[in-house]
Structure 1
Amino acid sequence: MSDPKIKNMEDFATVSGISRPTLSKYFNDPESVRKSTREKIETALKKHDYRPNVYAVNQNRRQTKNIGLVVPNLTDPFFAGIARTIEGLIVKAGFNPLLLSSHGGPEQEISNLESLRSIKPAGVLLAPLGRASLVEQVAAFANEVPTVLFDANLEKVGEAFFGSDNNQSISLIVDYLCRSGEPPLFFELKTPINPNAYKRRSAYIAAMERLGHEPHLIQVDGQGWNFEEIGFREGGRILTRQKLPTNTILCSNDRLAIGLLSAAFENGIKVGLDARASLRIAGHDDHPFSRFTCPSLTTVSQDYDAIAARSVETILSLIQSKECMKTREETLFEGRLEMRGSA
């Protein structure tokens, strides 16, 4: 007969001959038990092919080894990329990352936080929706659970915020576009869902005025996170029906720019730097696909490795100290110009 299926830690304690308290101690911190005991447990784990339910184990601890990670939308490769980096850092620190997506919805964002609250996380890293977030409810959660925000800021929510310096990065790419060709107009959503977009709009206007150029905003309708579709649909309409004041377009983010590049191709408009091109397009973020567009997209990269590292470092410090920070930290990281074929 085959061995009976091990359903829980009590079953594993019975078949392994190791006490339940010793097993709990091991699963909480393997180094906390003697080497001989640790080797015995690890041999039994392999023999019986048992993996403990870390969520059930953590429910019995005052401080769990779970760290929640909530992002706006995992279908966006940018958030998928930064989440993957953060997950790796959390695992390296000996904690369990719990990744959740808000799918662009404020109610889902709160549902994610409530789900995390129920399993008593040691801390949470949150990239909030921003203006769409139910701020009072997010703040109430952050008052109970150590929380660090990244990418988008909610004023006075959480112990710290880490993001990109949009003033620096937009100024950097506006300077480059004006230096290398005609001054850019700014292509964006009329009502952005992310607060970074508003900061980029203001930074564009300030940079153009500083350089002595008149700012030109082209604001289009669109909702949700389907930026490529909006860029393609509204960009095509603008390129074919509207006379533009310049041959250079700076998009609020790379995903809009990718849609706009597609619209230009669809309408036979050549984009790029050579003499045959009649349009230049640039973006912001250094989206994972931006180097593979045709032509490759000139943009500004966000230092999301630094943002991820600082966010994890801070939440781990909060967990270890078990105390709130004396003052809320806000740190912005500079972007880097990525000069490619589109502008």
Structure 2
Amino acid sequence: MTGTKIKNMEEFASVSGISRPTLSKFFNDPSSVRASTRKRIEQALETYDYQPNPYAVNQNRRLTKNIGIVVPNLADPFFAKIARTIEEHIIETGFRPVLLGSHGSPVMEIANLDNLRSLKPAGVLLAPLGRASDHKKIKAFCQDVPTVLFDANIDTIDEAFVGSNNDQSIDLIVDYLCRTGEPPSFFEMKSPTNPNAFKRRNAYLAAMDRLGHNPDLIQADGEGWEFEEIGFREGTRVVRDRNLPTNTILCSNDRLAIGLLSAAFEAGLRVGIGEECDLRIAGHDDHPFSKYTSPTLTTASQDYEAIAKKSASILLARIEGEGGADSPRETLFDGRLIMRSSA
């Protein structure tokens, strides 16, 4: 015994290095976890002065087969597509998905988590708003309910995260644009909510430095999730001023690029490849609409299928008590260059 009294399962999980869901499963039924895991828990119980709360253990026995899925905005086809893929995978494993959208609101995001808590879900898959999220409340929720973050990470929350390798995908598309024409400027929101935007900005700066080119940031005013509107409004200003150092613009995401394409059309500028074109425009994400724009949008894809399935599989492993401390804290999937007509 260490002599230190452990007050609850969260503290015991922290000092022992064993995840709370795994401990819950052990205290419900020791034979339900792997022999090696059971041995680690028994050794930790000998080391630390801890006895589980019988009421808390009994509560866990009454967990439902529900798995919550919370995304920033269900009206966004990007999140609708990835959520649908997660739903299908969860249904195949015998669980019931409960899908909720936060409408870009931090208050709604927490309300969704509170509603899920009342349903006693087996676990939750959360794509957080990011910078605007209430980090303290989300962290408290994650301590009570097995949670895996996807799409956007929150660095202050020590939970498993599954997303895209922005360094790789931005470097890939910057390299392509530089090889096939003028080096790109980077069109982004000045104060983005989603942390992926900051990662992509830094990746753009690193790629331009690696290739020996001067970076150029075009920062658009505006907040929230109306990216097309911001791209159109700020894009109109950009093409009107005509002071770009290059004829190539890489947008932080496809939705901004869609707005910029519209602004270029309204200004009478031709977007595409060839000497007769005025601009080249590219994006990131391979948004479901990007193949239907005019011209079709060159972009770097996210691996929706892999992100969805990996997120669900990590959560299910935690629920079954097999994820534990050995599961990776961050899993990133490389993007793929999608060459279309806009650049």
TM-score w.r.t. the length of structure 2 is: 0.81
Aligned partners of 2:132 and 2:211: how far apart in 1?
A: 34
Distance change (3 Å), C-alpha of 1:335 and 1:193: same
Distance change (3 Å), C-alpha of 1:318 and 1:156: farther
Match of 1:193 in 2: 193
Q: Deviations over 1:221-259 (max 9, x none)?
A: 011111001111110111012411000000000000000
1:116 partner amino acid: L
2:99 partner amino acid: L
Assess if the C-alpha contact under 8 Å between 1:149 and 1:162 holds in 2. yes
Q: Does 1:62 align with 2:51?
A: no
Assess if the C-alpha contact under 8 Å between 1:173 and 1:299 holds in 2. yes
Match of 1:340 in 2: 340
1:68 partner amino acid: G
1:117 partner amino acid: R
Q: Deviations over 1:244-303 (max 9, x none)?
A: 100000000000000000110111000001221010000000000001101100000001
Aligned partners of 2:249 and 2:155: how far apart in 1?
A: 31
Query: Which runs of structure 2 are paired with 1:19-168 in the superposition (5 Å)?
Result: 62-157=62-157, 159-168=159-168
Assess if the C-alpha contact under 8 Å between 2:252 and 2:283 holds in 1. yes
Aligned partners of 2:247 and 2:61: how far apart in 1?
A: 61
Assess if the C-alpha contact under 8 Å between 1:149 and 1:158 holds in 2. no
Assess if the C-alpha contact under 8 Å between 2:247 and 2:279 holds in 1. yes
Aligned partners of 1:116 and 1:275: how far apart in 2?
A: 55
Computing the radius of gyration from Cα coordinates, the structure with the larger value is 1
Q: Does 1:235 align with 2:240?
A: no
Q: Which stretch of the first structure deviates more once superposed, 125-134 or 155-164?
A: 155-164
Match of 1:28 in 2: none
Q: Secondary structure at the match of 1:121?
A: coil
Aligned partners of 1:232 and 1:161: how far apart in 2?
A: 32
1:325 partner amino acid: A
Q: Secondary structure at the match of 2:320?
A: helix
Q: Deviations over 1:149-205 (max 9, x none)?
A: 000001252531000000000000000000000000000000011000000000000
2:77 partner amino acid: P
Distance change (3 Å), C-alpha of 1:83 and 1:298: same
Match of 1:281 in 2: 281
1:87 partner amino acid: E
Q: Deviations over 1:108-146 (max 9, x none)?
A: 111100000001000000000011110010000000100
In the comparison of the two structures, how many residue pairs are matched? 285
Q: Which runs of 5+ in 1 are unaligned?
A: 1-58
TM-score w.r.t. the length of structure 1 is: 0.81
2:259 partner amino acid: G
Q: Secondary structure at the match of 2:263?
A: helix
Aligned partners of 2:339 and 2:260: how far apart in 1?
A: 18
Match of 2:177 in 1: 177
Aligned partners of 2:116 and 2:100: how far apart in 1?
A: 9
Distance change (3 Å), C-alpha of 1:182 and 1:60: closer
1:301 partner amino acid: S
Aligned partners of 1:316 and 1:158: how far apart in 2?
A: 18
Match of 1:206 in 2: 206
Q: Does 1:292 align with 2:292?
A: yes
Match of 2:52 in 1: none
Assess if the C-alpha contact under 8 Å between 1:125 and 1:315 holds in 2. yes
Aligned partners of 2:267 and 2:235: how far apart in 1?
A: 10
Match of 1:305 in 2: 305
Distance change (3 Å), C-alpha of 1:270 and 1:213: same
Aligned partners of 1:213 and 1:82: how far apart in 2?
A: 35
Assess if the C-alpha contact under 8 Å between 1:77 and 1:288 holds in 2. yes
**1:61 CA drift (Å):** 6.0
Assess if the C-alpha contact under 8 Å between 1:159 and 1:324 holds in 2. no
Q: Secondary structure at the match of 1:264?
A: helix
Match of 1:16 in 2: none
1:98 partner amino acid: V
Aligned partners of 2:323 and 2:273: how far apart in 1?
A: 54
Stretches of 4+ aligned residues off by more than 4 angstroms: none
2:141 partner amino acid: F
**1:326 CA drift (Å):** 4.7
1:164 partner amino acid: S
**1:60 CA drift (Å):** 11
Assess if the C-alpha contact under 8 Å between 2:314 and 2:327 holds in 1. no
Aligned partners of 1:335 and 1:92: how far apart in 2?
A: 26
Assess if the C-alpha contact under 8 Å between 1:148 and 1:158 holds in 2. no
Distance change (3 Å), C-alpha of 1:66 and 1:138: same
Q: Secondary structure at the match of 1:321?
A: coil
Assess if the C-alpha contact under 8 Å between 1:65 and 1:96 holds in 2. yes
Aligned identity (percent) is: 67
CA RMSD of aligned residues (A): 1.5
Q: Which runs of 5+ in 2 are unaligned?
A: 1-58
**1:220 CA drift (Å):** 1.1
Aligned partners of 2:244 and 2:322: how far apart in 1?
A: 56
Q: Which stretch of the first structure deviates more once superposed, 94-103 or 153-162?
A: 153-162
1:144 partner amino acid: D
